[in-house]
Structure 1
Amino acid sequence: MRLESRGISPRGRLFDYIVHLQNMSTTSGDSDLYQRLVVDRSLALSDYLELKKPLLFSQSDDVREATLSEIVDTVCSLPGDFLTREQVALLLDFLLGRLESSPVAASHAVRGIHHLVTNSQNHPEGFEKPLLQIMFIDGNVQGWDVEKRVLQYNVLEWLLLYRLQELKPLGSNFVLMFIKTMGGERHPRCLPMVFRMFVIVARSFPLGPLVEDLFEVIACYFPIEFKQASTDSPITKQLLAEGCMKCLVAHPDFAPFCYMLIEEKFTDDDCTPEQKEDTCELLAEAASVFPPEEIVDHLESMLGGVRIVGLNPKGSLPDCVPRALSAVTNALNSAGSEAVVKLGSQLIENLEPFVLQAEMGLTERALALLRCAAQAGPAIRSQIYDHVTPWILMLVQGTWM
């Protein structure tokens, strides 16, 4: 019998059916549904989902999206230990399948996946790889708005923190996925998570030929340019700068690329004095972490950069300069006497004019840099003192002449 013959349109009948199902599952609203599902256990989750099934396959986009939103809201309200492994597996499979739906439905699916992964206590065995494949390898994280990117980064960070051993067999494929997923991220809310995950990935997976590509994912942010919108915001320039720096020195194989980045920023005329100070901070960290022999080929440019920052006549001596020079000197001291002699010779050559030409007003600062380097060991100390002592005598004699 056709619906029209009874004076009821198909659309009206569908509406009545929706109302009927909603009344069956949520008689007194969400609190009643929670009472029936969790407290009384008078309504099984499978029965609740079965009631919603016709609406999920409705011809109306609005009905399907509203139903999916309601299901996700319900799932997110459940206690962490409520769902069994089998139920979590079924729900994950269902929601992952909705990521290719309409943007609205997919956004609800992301929310549900996030809750199931980060809040459930009963995860199904082997769920990590299908999740990675669909959400990150096949998906396009950068195509989402910032709210949904945050949720997806939360999921990936949870996997790295609590399922790292299950991810390691993916090897370089995981690294490639990470590069694809994080490339182009610019939002300050997302970057702290990106930086934290980067360090774990760099230290936990074989990088092989992807080492430079992975380094470049973070190198593009340095030095950090960020203006804090509010003093109450938890995201600060210092937080971002520290996170970025940890990434750039996270793996020994980053050393040549890191020193080239430092050299590039030291010689870039477009870099502000503040950015060059940030570069000096990175040099201090790099020289402390990387194998000492890595800096030898870059020594001249590194010392030139330190000199530019430390002897800037428009400002005082920044704290980062002695730290950087001390780190470089200690690194070369451990690399051998030849490297230390080379360092001492270049320092003496670079700083002599600033010591002797007192009218420049930089004598005290230049001597402070030499004193800092001299503290690294007896070899460089005697080398520096052999030159500095005659310089001081010349300055004293010039004063009394």
Structure 2
Amino acid sequence: MTSAWFKPELAELIINHGDIFNETHSIIADIVSGHLDIADLVENMAGVLTNKEPENREKGMRFYTKILKELPRDYLNDMQVKFISKFYIDRLKDNHRVVPPVIEGYSVLIDMSEYNIQNCTDFLTILFREVTCQSQTRQDRYNIYVIIQKLCNKDIEYLKSLGSDFVYGVITAMDGERDPRNLVFLFEFLQNFIKIFPLGHLAEEMFDVISCYFPIDFHPSNDDPAAVTREDLANSLAPCLCAIPEFADSCIILLIEKLDSNLRLAKIDSLKLLIESCKTFTPQSYSPFLRALWSSLNREMSHKTDDELKTTAHEALGALVAKMASTANTDQDFENFLKGVIISAQSTIADATTVAQFVKGTKILLTAANASNQSCASITRAMVPATVAYYELKTAPKLQIASLDFIGDLYEIANKKGLLDEVKAQITNVPQICLSAVSQTSKEFQMAGFKTLIRVQECLGEDLVLPFVEVLIYNVQHAQDNDLLGISVETIHVIARKYPELIMDLVVKGKCSIDNISQDKIAFQKRLNVLTNLASIDDFTKVIIEEMLKIITANDPEALHVVEALSGSISMASVFTIEKVTQIESDHGLIDPVLDWLYKEISSSSPDALAHGYTLIANTIGSLPPEKQENILIKHTPLALERCKQDDIYFLIIECLYTPLHQIVYNSKFEEIMTVSLQVALKSDKDVVRTKACVLIAHLLNKAEHGQKFELLYEMLKTQLASCNRGDEKLCPRLIQLYGWITKSLLMRGSDVFLFWLQKIVGILATPQYCTHGSEAIKLIMNENTDYLNRKQHCRISLLYKQRMFETFSVLTEKIKSNLSAETKESYLLSWAYVLDKAPKTVLKNEANKVAPIVIDCLEYDNKDMLQVSLDVLCHFVQSNPTAVSDSLQTILPRLIALSKYMKSMDVRIKSLECLYDIANTFRTSTLLPYKQDVLLDLAPSLDDKKRLVRNVAVRARSRWFLVGAPGEEKPN
């Protein structure tokens, strides 16, 4: 076969010897080196290209196309490209078997650097005339679409010069396409094509061709590895239907028609199309249809159970209002439309007897107000006075409270849009209504009044400060409810920022003065909370902090309360910024007096009593820059280590000094700190101290810089742990807990060595004596602890660490499955539950076939935590991947029925009933009918459950099962 391509015998080889297709790389080498001209190659192939059998001519074209695909894109010159183009165009008229390789080859030819766009004229003419696109295979149709796209990308202006014949050819080629992958490609291509090419008299025909797909009614095959989803098709189709203003009337009529149908997906797609159309169509396009559009939108926004439908309808209203607002002050369409929305919503609010009905009307108004400045101003002017009057009518308390929330929402929107000056006359009296609310004895009224005042603080007049302060201070001194106390403190803080001098006189030096503690010790802690909160404001910092530090330094009996108040306020990032904490430490020295106080109190007080002191130290150090942190460590570490040798309770001071450090902070004491931490973690008899030691070890490993520092600490840890006695029954649970912290720390920083420690924990799950400790270690690894290993403490947190834990745990547990006993099975499944609870749902979906049997097994055990996670994952599978559980319904349904009566947890009962509903709403009727009667009978007791929420879900689930197989049942997708 060597060099056969230099001779006419090449044609015979192509016909009879398929091996020649494997020699194309040699042919390419001879062409590129100049030993063979591509025109001569065509001559040598003449016998196969002109063969009387279409099958052989097809082989010839496939061979030539393969040659073309392997040629360098810059090899052919202009004349060669033109010659090959004419050759391929001529082949288009050949037998239908020859057409596919011709289309494929021409697609390659367009990519050649010397391809001239003018070569395409004859090709397109013959293609559209001789080749019926929809008669070709899916791949060949796709290749035709790709050719059209490539030519458009090559020279769009030349193709536009071809006029309506080219556009008509494109329309004809795609008319009737049914393959979802081709349709996604076409829709994405058409989004720009329609905008660029003048359609003229073909606009209506183009719209008809693409609108026949709306709404998308398609569901991918479960065994398709690269399935196109219904959402992919719907999202790419919508921009085509509203690509140009010429489509406006047809598009709006279409979406109104489908919006008024009974199909849920048709409604959602129509709403999304309306949203998309507002990007393209003119406001005048909607004018004739505004009444019909508002009627449909209002209906869908009133839907009682379908949250997605309601949300999409609100988005559509917002888009329509924003579009129409651009005509404000030019014609009456926008004003009339907005007036209709306001009147309709006002009627809903006026007729409301429940908060849900009231909120339905207000949400519509808020959506419209959010859409544009014009609508916001009009709605605020109309609704604030109306809502104030509504509040004063003394309607039901819950509706009055809801009206306050509505006023606050409108104010925030107006403020965000910079319209407060325009609506100043309407909002002036809002603080007075807030004062009326907070003056009542009801907690609910006071909470609502304070929340609204916080939102409308800018319009609070000086004359109302004193009345508000009187109510606020009374709450601080006498209120027992924590929520009311919290909002009262926040309100004082807000007023202080606007009127600092008044609050200084009335509160800091007046009713909440620290000097008055002997007169009212009962309210002392509450007043401290107010003062520490106010200390974050520059005008108050010096006065308050210095007074509080005097109490701490003097070792006053009330120092404990001062520290608690400071800790609580400084830990609130919304009140004390990092910069503010740093400023307080620099100007007033917070750490030294608090540490001195801790040393004096630590031996006589419980760790819980001093917990706020440790937290205050940690939060303050964590806010400081690295260089200041290093200075504090140098100053305080020696004494802390010395005291820790005497009593490990002093380790709590070491922990609060070292856990909040920046990653770059490192000194010569770190190795000693690691050693001390290990000793305390394994030997201390105090639970809280051992836990803190584990936490510090985790922080040191997590934050140590990559390289020598990390390796030094890690090897020290492994070496010291290797010498531990695993036979010590007292030591083993402590080791397992430490393994959990080490694994969590390393996993979160993205270090591969976490696998070594996780293997130890997984192995423990198969041991009856310690399997429960192993499952607790897995729980520790997966749980997000707000106090440790977080970004506030400058820890490294890998974005995908939970996904990595799931994948690794899944592999490791395969090795112990065969070693599980009845004693260890529950701990094994509980560990899985902890992992599944935190694993991303997308990851679970990909591993559904593996996870589903584990979840089903979990339903047998009397463990509330495990049951809640398992039911949640099972519901997810039923909705997103029903095939994973379809074969196990015979097992699943009885277990769900049993759990619907699980008296230890209302949440478990509700979730099991929701899962039963999802099953009835998802699987085919033929699959469910064998179970229908048994499920209906077994669900009856849940209708009489003692909890109303359970009864509601039970009614919904049982009603759906009643409909299984009923005439007219809407089949699940």
> TM-score normalized by structure 2?
0.37
* Residue 89 (structure 1) aligned to one of 75, 78, 82: 82
Contact 1:357–1:363 (Cα < 8 Å) also in 2: yes
* Residue 369 (structure 2) aligned to one of 368, 374, 385: 374
2:395 is matched with 396
1:290 is matched with 281
Distance verdict in 2 for CA 1:28–1:257, change over 3 Å: closer
Please give the residue correspondences for 1:21-170 in structure 2 after superposition, counting only pairs within 5 Å.
Answer: 29-38=23-32, 40-117=33-110, 119-124=111-116, 126-170=118-162
The residue type equivalent to 1:368 in the other structure is K
Deviates more, 1:70-79 or 1:337-346: 337-346
Q: Using the TM superposition, give the Cα deviation of residue 200 of structure 1 relative to its aligned residue in structure 2, in angstroms.
A: 2.6
Please give the residue correspondences for 1:221-300 in structure 2 after superposition, counting only pairs within 5 Å.
Answer: 221-229=213-221, 233=226, 235-269=228-262, 271-272=263-264, 274-300=265-291
Contact 1:373–1:381 (Cα < 8 Å) also in 2: no
Contact 1:27–1:33 (Cα < 8 Å) also in 2: no
Report the count of equivalent residues.
382
1:343 is matched with 337
Q: Distance in 2 between matches of 1:16 and 1:35?
A: 17
* DSSP 3-state at the match of 2:91: coil
* DSSP 3-state at the match of 1:215: helix
Q: Using the TM superposition, give the Cα deviation of residue 234 of structure 1 relative to its aligned residue in structure 2, in angstroms.
A: 6.7
Q: Using the TM superposition, give the Cα deviation of residue 251 of structure 1 relative to its aligned residue in structure 2, in angstroms.
A: 0.9
Q: Using CA pairs below 8 Å that are at least 6 residues apart, which structure has the higher relative contact order?
A: 1
Q: What do you get for the CA RMSD once the two structures are aligned? A: 3.1
Q: Distance in 2 between matches of 1:27 and 1:198?
A: 37
Q: Using the TM superposition, give the Cα deviation of residue 384 of structure 1 relative to its aligned residue in structure 2, in angstroms.
A: 4.8
Deviates more, 1:359-368 or 1:156-165: 359-368
2:177 is matched with 185
1:210 is matched with 202
Q: Distance in 1 between matches of 2:387 and 2:126?
A: 65
Contact 1:128–1:166 (Cα < 8 Å) also in 2: no
Q: Using the TM superposition, give the Cα deviation of residue 155 of structure 1 relative to its aligned residue in structure 2, in angstroms.
A: 0.4
Distance verdict in 2 for CA 1:397–1:56, change over 3 Å: closer
Q: Distance in 2 between matches of 1:241 and 1:77?
A: 37
Q: Distance in 1 between matches of 2:21 and 2:181?
A: 40
**Structure 2: any 5+ residue segments left out of the alignment?**
1-7, 400-973
2:293 is matched with 302
Deviates more, 1:364-373 or 1:374-383: 374-383
Q: Distance in 1 between matches of 2:277 and 2:108?
A: 39
Q: Using the TM superposition, give the Cα deviation of residue 19 of structure 1 relative to its aligned residue in structure 2, in angstroms.
A: 4.4
* DSSP 3-state at the match of 1:127: helix
Contact 2:272–2:316 (Cα < 8 Å) also in 1: yes
Q: Using the TM superposition, give the Cα deviation of residue 26 of structure 1 relative to its aligned residue in structure 2, in angstroms.
A: 5.9
Q: Deviations over 1:133-165 (max 9, x none)?
A: 111355321121110011111100011112111
The residue type equivalent to 1:300 in the other structure is R
Contact 2:352–2:358 (Cα < 8 Å) also in 1: yes
Distance verdict in 2 for CA 1:198–1:112, change over 3 Å: same
Q: Deviations over 1:247-271 (max 9, x none)?
A: 12211222222211121111123x2
Distance verdict in 2 for CA 1:22–1:365, change over 3 Å: same
2:618 is matched with none
Contact 1:183–1:217 (Cα < 8 Å) also in 2: yes
Q: Distance in 2 between matches of 1:345 and 1:74?
A: 69
Q: Using the TM superposition, give the Cα deviation of residue 368 of structure 1 relative to its aligned residue in structure 2, in angstroms.
A: 0.6
Q: Distance in 2 between matches of 1:60 and 1:21?
A: 10
Deviates more, 1:380-389 or 1:247-256: 380-389
2:303 is matched with 312
Distance verdict in 2 for CA 1:365–1:152, change over 3 Å: same
Q: Deviations over 1:80-116 (max 9, x none)?
A: 1122222222222222222232222111211111111
Contact 1:255–1:290 (Cα < 8 Å) also in 2: yes
Contact 1:340–1:380 (Cα < 8 Å) also in 2: no
* DSSP 3-state at the match of 1:319: helix
Deviates more, 1:214-223 or 1:296-305: 214-223
The residue type equivalent to 1:341 in the other structure is E
Distance verdict in 2 for CA 1:283–1:35, change over 3 Å: same
Q: Deviations over 1:168-202 (max 9, x none)?
A: 11233332222212211121111222123322332
Q: Distance in 2 between matches of 1:385 and 1:344?
A: 16
The residue type equivalent to 2:302 in the other structure is L
Q: Using the TM superposition, give the Cα deviation of residue 361 of structure 1 relative to its aligned residue in structure 2, in angstroms.
A: 4.0
> TM-score normalized by structure 1?
0.84
Q: Distance in 1 between matches of 2:378 and 2:211?
A: 36
Distance verdict in 2 for CA 1:366–1:232, change over 3 Å: farther
The residue type equivalent to 1:296 in the other structure is S
Q: Using the TM superposition, give the Cα deviation of residue 51 of structure 1 relative to its aligned residue in structure 2, in angstroms.
A: 1.1
Contact 1:160–1:200 (Cα < 8 Å) also in 2: no
Larger radius of gyration: 2
Q: Deviations over 1:31-89 (max 9, x none)?
A: 32222222x32222122211111232223333333222222222222111122222222
Distance verdict in 2 for CA 1:236–1:329, change over 3 Å: same
Q: Using the TM superposition, give the Cα deviation of residue 359 of structure 1 relative to its aligned residue in structure 2, in angstroms.
A: 5.4
Alignment identity in percent? 23
Distance verdict in 2 for CA 1:207–1:168, change over 3 Å: same
Q: Distance in 2 between matches of 1:204 and 1:148?
A: 26
* DSSP 3-state at the match of 1:396: coil
